Amino acid sequence: MATTNEWVCEFDYIMSRNTNSPDQRLTGRRFSLVVKRQRVEVNEGQDALFAEFRYRFIITNIPKRQMDAAAVLRFGYGRCDQENTIEQMKNGIAALRMPTGQLLANADFLMCGQLAWCLRSWLSLLALPKESLRFEWDWFRHAFVYVAAKITESGRQAWVQLTGSHRFVEHLVIASERLKSFEFQ
């Protein structure tokens, strides 16, 4: 499935008073409704009889003079990305699965998950390619953590030899050099 065309429009929306809104203060107020229409081309299965369209809606109280429709979409999608972070904390790292019945042990488990996520984010921002920031946790772990290596010690130094067949060896070497260039005090 591939998106072939996109259109964005914006129009005023007034919530009617007969809706079952949990907050009746919103009824009668004027909002902007931004609609994104995407034409989707299906490449699998049977041939399409009709064109397929997908619609995305954002209701906002941001004035039109402050942001145009495309800027509202970018702003809204940027905020919605937090749901993906929460999903990765819940299912990727499994930081929200409490393994014990003890409050402090579960708090420590959650804190370890948060630290792992922060270390991954900082490593992606400082040393790894920028697209690694968007990797899901399992993909990141298999790409940059589970790496076959041979560690040898001689004198007071440890040497790490990475396998040349790993897909991201070049990125790991560049990341190592970037991290060495930082001054730590």
Query: Would you list the DSSP string of the chain?
Result: -EEEEEEEEEEEEE--TTS--S-GGGTT-EEEEEEEEEEEE--SSSPPSS-EEEEEEEEE---TTT--HHHHHHHHHHHHHHHHHHHIIIIIS-TTS--SS-HHHHHHHHHHHHHHHHHHHHHHHHTS-GGGGGS-HHHHIIIIIS--EEEEEETTEEEEEE-TTSTTHHHHHHHHHHHHHS---
Q: Please give the residue that has the higher pLDDT: either 19 or 60.
A: 60
Same domain, 18 and 77: yes
Task: Tell me which residue range forms the domain holding 30.
Answer: 2-83
* Least confident among 18-22, 24-28, 117-121: 18-22
**Whether residues 102 and 156 fall in one domain:** yes
Residues 101 and 177 both lie in one domain: yes
Of 58, 83, 108, the domain-final residue: 83
Residue 107: pLDDT above 70?
Answer: yes
Instruction: Please give the mean pLDDT across all residues of the chain.
Output: 83
Residue 167 lies in a domain: yes
pLDDT tens digits, residue range 74-92? 888 877 777 788 888 888 8
Instruction: Note whether 115 and 60 are same-domain residues.
Output: no
| Residue at which a domain ends, from 23, 56, 83 | 83
Residue 88 lies in a domain: no
Please give the average per-residue pLDDT across 28-46, as a whole number: 82
Asked whether the predicted pLDDT for residue 163 surpasses 60, the reply is: yes
Domain count, the chain: 2
Domain annotation covers residue 176: yes
Q: Is residue 152 included in any domain, yes or no?
A: yes
pLDDT at 61 over 90: no
119 and 157, same structural domain?
A: yes
41 within some domain: yes
Q: Given pLDDT bands bounded at 50, 70 and 90, which one contains residue 18?
A: low
In this structure, the answer to whether residues 72 and 105 fall within a common structural domain is no
Q: What is the mean pLDDT of residues 80-105?
A: 82
